[in-house]
Structure 1
């Protein structure tokens, strides 16, 4: 079923500005949805339209950030292609499922994971730009990539943090390198979600594409900033984004 929503000019301008901010945050630490999703819902979009339209704008910002990290030598495309394909497939399945059922159960579970992630980032000595011994091989990481991909298609908040933290903790990547490769995975999962939501008529294209321009600008600026400053800026922003997203999800649970 195709839902409709007619955005006014003021809303397009306002959401363009919001997209610049979320694109900047997403390209460094993830968690831009902490700002974007409430903004879309406050604008009056029904939940499924908000999710689909958010994916439509986010994919452009993530892709722009991925391009910059790749140009900076921080993305390994060829080596990760099989894992990216699994993440894409997982996100496709998750995006199909979320259009059929509610994401209420995940809304209870995700804050726990995000809080744990924030604690890990704060206390782990591995959260630097130094590569470390990998705990999982590329093949062993396949189920992790597919699982996070499914989560992104089904629910989404914190996906960038989950990819980054797992690449640091399980694959032994330095933090900036992990952030770059996380954008490759996240771009794939976003594109999968966009395709599914587009086929389901759950994207407001005029709004999504307007925000996409802002997201690309924010993603360009943010990724350049992260490449220049490395772990010393990525680590604190990951902590803030994870704790902020955790607080927002918990607030939504008690406010419901």
Structure 2
């Protein structure tokens, strides 16, 4: 589907947003908090914006996941069953979004941003080492991961941060380990959701491919910076990004 009001300036704007989102998503998660609103501001209908967002997000999470696996920050053996759980949850969430009023989901954005920002602002120092897990690996795999996957299929923004938060808070993972694993899980949820949107015909290909290229650039840059930036600065990045976006929504 094409739109008469789609100009070169809008396409370039979305391309630039995708670069920034891919970079931030790799470092701290939450890139969808930039790309999805940008797509909607450009005049693309909500469901089409969600589907297009998944297409471009797949490139960013695929690039980041490949770099994490290549650098051995995480192994496929560690995450393969978690990825399957995330995939299933996201598929169900994306099917569900096809039958509800997607406009209602805009109410979720401020809540999601606030929760993520407040957690990373007030949580204990993320530079601490591994902690004892608060729930079993089985409960994490069969309950927590599919629920986050369901949210990603249903709406999406902030999913990478949710996976990082869950790995840190519930499984006691170090922040960088939780971040690396979150990339692979977010890739699984994006692919699952994209498949459903493709069958539903809810993808704007021109915009999607343009933003995919931007996501590749941003994710490639972010993956090279992730383990060179002090962890405390990543924490500040999450908090600043979340509350900046919250301010934007409250004043719009």
TM-score normalised by the chain length of structure 2: 0.90
Counterpart-to-counterpart distance in 2, 1:15 and 1:246: 20
2:55–2:194 Cα contact (<8 Å) kept: yes
Secondary structure at the aligned position of 2:201 is classed as: coil
Measure how far apart 1:210 and its partner are.
Answer: 1.3
Q: Which range is displaced more, 42-51 or 32-41?
A: 32-41
For residues 193-204 of structure 1, the aligned pairs below 5 Å read: 193-204=193-204
CA RMSD of aligned residues (A): 2.1
Counterpart-to-counterpart distance in 1, 2:244 and 2:74: 27
Measure how far apart 1:147 and its partner are.
Answer: 0.1
Q: What do residues 47-97 of structure 1 show as CA deviations (whole Å, max 9, x unaligned)?
A: 111111111001101111111222222223212211211111111111111
> What is the aligned partner in structure 2 of residue 184 from structure 1?
184
Measure how far apart 1:37 and its partner are.
Answer: 1.8
1:29–1:241 Cα contact (<8 Å) kept: no
Closer, same or farther: CA 225–129 of 1 in aligned 2, 3 Å: farther
Counterpart-to-counterpart distance in 1, 2:89 and 2:247: 27
Measure how far apart 1:21 and its partner are.
Answer: 1.0
Measure how far apart 1:107 and its partner are.
Answer: 4.3
For residues 49-198 of structure 1, the aligned pairs below 5 Å read: 49-103=48-102, 106-108=105-107, 111-128=110-127, 130-142=129-141, 143-198=143-198
Counterpart-to-counterpart distance in 2, 1:109 and 1:48: 15
Closer, same or farther: CA 107–210 of 1 in aligned 2, 3 Å: closer
Q: Which runs of 5+ in 2 are unaligned?
A: none
> What is the aligned partner in structure 2 of residue 20 from structure 1?
19
1:20–1:214 Cα contact (<8 Å) kept: yes
Q: Which runs of 5+ in 1 are unaligned?
A: none
Closer, same or farther: CA 129–201 of 1 in aligned 2, 3 Å: farther
- Does the alignment pair 1:226 with 2:226? yes
Counterpart-to-counterpart distance in 1, 2:230 and 2:155: 29
- Does the alignment pair 1:41 with 2:45? no
> What is the aligned partner in structure 1 of residue 235 from structure 2?
235
Counterpart-to-counterpart distance in 2, 1:171 and 1:77: 18
TM-score normalised by the chain length of structure 1: 0.89
1:89–1:146 Cα contact (<8 Å) kept: yes
Measure how far apart 1:120 and its partner are.
Answer: 2.3
2:51–2:202 Cα contact (<8 Å) kept: yes
